Amino acid sequence: MGVHATKRALEMAQVKAEEIDFVIWGTLSPDHYFPGNSAWAQPQLGVKIGTPCMDIRNQCSFFVYGLTVADALIKSGAYKRILLIGSEIHSTGLDFSERGRDVAVLFGDGAGAVVLGPATAEGQGLLATDLGCDGTYADELAITMGSSVPPTYVTADKLATGEQFPKMNGKLVFKQAVTTMPITLGKSLKQAGVHAHDLDLFIAHQANLRICEFVQKTLELSDDKIYNNIHKYGNTTAASIPIALDECVRSGRLKRGQLLAVAAFGAGFTWGSAIIRY
């Protein structure tokens, strides 16, 4: 899915795969435990062998974290064209029994990709970002099975109790998300020197429609400045924002020169926001 999304993004950007000089991949559902998806996918992406590839494990907030890393790499002058890919296949890793229905009903499969490069006009591009993490909540949204848990990574007892499936404290996640997302977005707006009413479009990570609506109300943004697609795909985690961004650009909802804001909150708990002059 990530490779397919990349091909569509390259075509739209009118950039050839061999022009890409860095690849950043985000997923919580890798095809293999290691190496990262970016290495496995490199030959399929069509980028030159030797092109550096990196995975970022930040789940729902991947896009903002990845955007910040890519921006720094481009501004340093070390790299010019960077692929940022978010891809998830949740359907093979969810508990579809009665035990896991509260989590399984929320998630979907999908992929989105963007091609990043130096801004071509003054005041264009990534204007500001804000990132954060509070690891004291790490076990509130997590798959707890891991190699550091004795006696071995996988046991029959662990499988029987469903430790291989994600667990979520939904009420806590909702409470923290609706509190944190407006705060992080406020910091990015202040850093960029703009206000919420200046925005042409706001895309929130598509985790929960109620969360998106609550943040919209808090920021006092009208419906024409909001884009949601969770009703079509569910929560696609690392792919959520890039999928929405792709749809907005292709449909004409987002045009060159307009002011875009994105924000995300998820496992970790990690969060982030960005202001972009598209």
Known catalytic residues?
A: 60, 205, 235
CB neighbours of 29 closer than 8 A, spacing ≥ 6? Answer: 88, 89, 90, 92, 93, 237
d(CA 61, CA 65): 6
CA gyration radius, the chain: 19
Sign of the CA dihedral running 205, 206, 211, 217 = positive
Please give the Cα distance from 99 to 137 (Å, whole number): 22
Is 46 exposed, middle or buried (CB count within 10 Å of its CB: 0-12, 13-18, 19+)? middle
Place of tokens 């062998």: 49
Q: Which residues pair with 142 in a beta bridge?
A: 167
Q: CA 263 to CA 241: how far, in whole Å?
A: 9
Question: How many other C-beta atoms are found inside a 10 Å radius of the C-beta of residue 197?
Answer: 10
Instruction: Name the token pair of 126.
Output: 């990534």
Give the residue carrying structure tokens 């202001």. 275
